[in-house]
Structure 1
Amino acid sequence: MAQPKNIPLIRDAEIEGLLRLYTRPIFKAAGINPKAVKVYIIDDSRINAFVAGGQRIFINTGLLMQSKTPNEVIGVLAHETGHIAGGHLARMGVEIESASYTAIIGMLLGLAAIAGGALAGNAEAAQAGQGIMAGSQGLAQRNFLAYARGMESSADQAALKYLTATKQSGQGMIELFEKLSRQSIASLRNIDPYVMSHPMPLERIRNLEQSAKKSPYFNAKDPPALMLRHELVQAKLLGFTGGAQAVMQRYPTSDQSLPARYARAIAMFRKGDIKNALSVIDGLTAELPENPYFWELKGQALLENGRAVEAVAPLQKALKLLPNNGLIQFMTAQALIDTEKPKNAEAALKLLRQAQRSDGESSALYKYMARAYAQTGDIPRAELATAEAALLQGDRKLAIDKAKSAQKRFKTGTPEWTRANDVLTFASRD
């Protein structure tokens, strides 16, 4: 699991894989190309999900953690898909459509704080959310919220249509909104409806129930295998974000289920108890050897404890099971580079290029590329990669210095020379 700096986003191969499994049938039912929609995970304990910037869905870890079944999460994702399919963001203007997802989060998290604070009866959170939105680029707060409220019922009905088409129940959506209703039963009495982005929960539940119960799949249950994956993701999230005490409260040692052992193993290695963590992880891989994420966890535990040489084998096992996963490609490359062996650096560069194609560019990727090139003795490309990393981090001076140094070493007109020139051009702009 990785977390980008400055914004509360989480990247994790297992969670993203599960969300793809949840969304792919829904997107197809909605007539949307699954590859055209990006789903982002926000490190926020509140129950929330929203669409922004076109075909981008943002989902809080709180929604994943507090949902009892996959169906609850799928229902919410179906609702957000309804917004996308209905073109509900079209009126938000060019500013939001063209903004980076970092800027979008600034505004939408303000909205989430307003709605979440209201639902939880937390006036301070709602006020803080208003402050966030006031300082973010976008449309006027009340106009935005009024538009959002008008689209919610439409998205609910679209979600039920997609769930029926995929032979899934709408019961999860209802259960989630009932949960929110119980949380807000007292606080909503004095809430201005114009600072709510969604219809009042009780009204929403009534409308949903009437439509959902008409589906022949209303009583359909989640498959056991999907339920297990859902519970494993919840265990992983708690292990990484909740701390050892929270893990032991939810998963005492008497609980020998796969999710419980998974969470405890993560908590152990996070607090430095690598010996016991590896023992538990080995038990998990022995029980489910085809689960790539158990092997990934073993590799990560070893890598983060300075045992890169040992980390390579389990990460390569994970990669064999999921050969096209950019995050696992990147972590495997990290381990290979940390062995400080030129032969491994060549293999790492191949993986980094694959990760770049599947996952896009990042400063971290270019930093590891620079290290790998340096280990192979390719200093010009190491300097160019360093310049790329610096540019993405906003360090213009370093980007210019390294790009100039790299450009001198490449023949004029070659792809590397041209890229170094591009970095110079971008870094020199006012």
Structure 2
Amino acid sequence: MTWRRITGLVCATSFAIASLVGPAFAQAKRSGPSLIRDAEIESLMRLYTKPIFQAAGLNPGSVHVYLINDPRINAFVAGGQRIFINTGLLTQAKTPNEVIGVLAHETGHISGGHLARMQNEIDRKSTIAIIGMLLGAAAVAGGAVAGEGELAQAGGGIMMGAQGLTQRLVLSYARAMEASADQAAIKFLTATGQSGKGMLTLFQKLATQSMASLRDVSPYVMSHPMPLDRIRNLEVEAKASKYFDTPDKPEIMMRHKLMQAKLVGFLQPMQTVFQRYPTSDTSLPGRYARAIAMFRSGDTRNAVKVIDTLIRDLPSDPYFHELKGQALLEGGQPAQAVAPLRQTIKMLPNSGLIRIMLAQALLGTENRANAQAALSELRLARKTEDDTPALYQLMAMAYGQIGDIPRADLATAEAAYYRGDKKLAEEKAKVAMRTLKRGSPDWLRANDILNFVNRE
């Protein structure tokens, strides 16, 4: 009886210790972080990361970068080869090199297999905790039985000490991994002819911000190296590279500024946009941000006028044409949005996101012929966006407009499945299977959805 109570206590404590790294990710999944999809920013992230991934020996097509709508400066690796980067880092980074340095650091975690190794380390360290908890629990039980309060209290101290020791050992390992990722980042940047100055500058900024809050914190309870130690080590490594003073190329710097203008235009209130980019600012980024703020506020007419000046001054930029199409589409003019979006597709034929927007514009015309054209665009978009719910929602609309109800039901089931609505996915998959030809590719797809839903 006593032994069962002791082992129950040990299991509960070891679970708490083993969860040191996990909860943040689990909480993010439960609360549903706001992920942003944007063809322009995703293209820029691919441009930044491709040489870094290659230098790290990773397949660029297998590592994905996701954008989180969060104003704080942060980036992290989770779920295998997935890098998550906050909008705050992108908007506050003064140069592309600062962003690239952070991405190189996160790549260091992936190439080093740090997530898997951390879990193994936690599992191994938890053994220490289990032993400590067993000894402590036994002392508590023995002291209680013998009526010796001091012995029982000592047992409690052993348990607490074991837990604290384990936590410190795990955090020590985490600090070592961060230092390892810093070194790997410098290696990747040097191999690709890029500077580590941006990474150093950004970390110096973060160190300055955190100095006050870390003044009385023990370095042994931190998951990252102490800021000053980290900066000193990183500075030595970065300055040793012959590329330390290599600046960002002007064209990349312009794309960086346009990306920042887009994020501010879409994410900030109109007043903030015009404060940061006043009408006196006639630069491309300034006009870009203001045009976005205008059409978001309902002023499509003036927004399009500004966008036309952007296209006139830099006709080779496909994202100005995309923005014109988006402004017209969201301004209730889908027919007028088709032409600029088609122009964008000519310039970016592999962009599934833009094909989805073009399909939305075509469907907005409520023309049967355009519905067929929309289906063609969506089938092409599925090559890169096969898990995007909006794609299947638009497919359902397109099939509905041409009167193909069975495939509309199938597309609705697929959209529901990728949204996580298992009930609707199951319901629509069953309806589709009753009307589709048994054994046909579409019937088999509906059957797959049904099986997936029931299996999960």
TM band (smaller chain): 0.7 to 0.9
Residues 364-402 of structure 1 show CA distances to partners (whole Å, capped at 9, x for unaligned) of 211110011111221111111112222333434433332
Aligned to 2:19: none
Q: 1:45 to 1:196 in 2, by over 3 A?
A: farther
Please tell me whether residue 196 in structure 1 is matched to residue 222 in structure 2: yes
Secondary structure, aligned partner of 2:383: helix
* Residues 99 and 198 in structure 2, CA contact (< 8 A), matched pair in contact too: yes
Give the Cα–Cα distance (whole angstroms) in 2 for the partners of residues 64 and 11 of structure 1. Answer: 14
The match for 2:379 among 340, 343, 353 is 353
Give the Cα–Cα distance (whole angstroms) in 2 for the partners of residues 143 and 403 of structure 1. Answer: 50
The match for 2:341 among 315, 330, 343 is 315
Q: 1:142 to 1:252 in 2, by over 3 A?
A: farther
Aligned to 1:171: 197
Aligned to 2:293: 267
Contiguous gaps of at least 5 residues in structure 2: 1-30, 121-165
Aligned to 1:134: none
Please tell me whether residue 185 in structure 1 is matched to residue 211 in structure 2: yes
Please tell me whether residue 11 in structure 1 is matched to residue 37 in structure 2: yes
The match for 2:274 among 222, 244, 248 is 248
Aligned to 1:89: 115
- Give 2:54's aligned amino acid: K
Give the Cα–Cα distance (whole angstroms) in 2 for the partners of residues 348 and 141 of structure 1. Answer: 55
Matches within 5 A, 1:296-315: 296-315=322-341
Q: 1:245 to 1:192 in 2, by over 3 A?
A: farther
Residues 19-45 of structure 1 show CA distances to partners (whole Å, capped at 9, x for unaligned) of 111111111111111111000111111
The match for 1:157 among 170, 183, 186 is 183
Worse-matched range after superposition: 182-191 or 72-81: 182-191
Aligned to 1:403: 429
Aligned to 1:393: 419
Residues 30-69 of structure 1 show CA distances to partners (whole Å, capped at 9, x for unaligned) of 1111111000111111111111121111111111111100
Residues 148-202 of structure 1 show CA distances to partners (whole Å, capped at 9, x for unaligned) of 2221111111111111111111111111011112211211112354553321211
Give the Cα–Cα distance (whole angstroms) in 2 for the partners of residues 308 and 195 of structure 1. Answer: 56
Q: 1:310 to 1:28 in 2, by over 3 A?
A: same
Matches within 5 A, 1:347-386: 347-386=373-412
Residues 77-106 of structure 1 show CA distances to partners (whole Å, capped at 9, x for unaligned) of 111111111111123449xxxxxxxxxxxx
Tell me the TM-score normalized by structure 2.
Answer: 0.80
Residues 104-162 of structure 1 show CA distances to partners (whole Å, capped at 9, x for unaligned) of xxxxxxxxxxxxxxxxxxxxxxxxxxxxxxxxxxxx98776443222111111111111
Aligned to 2:55: 29
The match for 1:205 among 231, 256, 266 is 231
The match for 1:237 among 257, 263, 267 is 263
Q: How many residues align?
A: 382
Secondary structure, aligned partner of 2:446: helix
- Give 1:367's aligned amino acid: Q
- Give 2:115's aligned amino acid: L
Tell me the TM-score normalized by structure 1.
Answer: 0.85
Please tell me whether residue 290 in structure 1 is matched to residue 316 in structure 2: yes
Secondary structure, aligned partner of 2:214: helix
Q: 1:154 to 1:317 in 2, by over 3 A?
A: same
Aligned to 1:117: none
Secondary structure, aligned partner of 1:41: strand
- Give 1:179's aligned amino acid: K
* Residues 273 and 290 in structure 2, CA contact (< 8 A), matched pair in contact too: yes
The match for 1:80 among 97, 106, 109 is 106
Q: 1:360 to 1:196 in 2, by over 3 A?
A: farther
Contiguous gaps of at least 5 residues in structure 1: 95-139
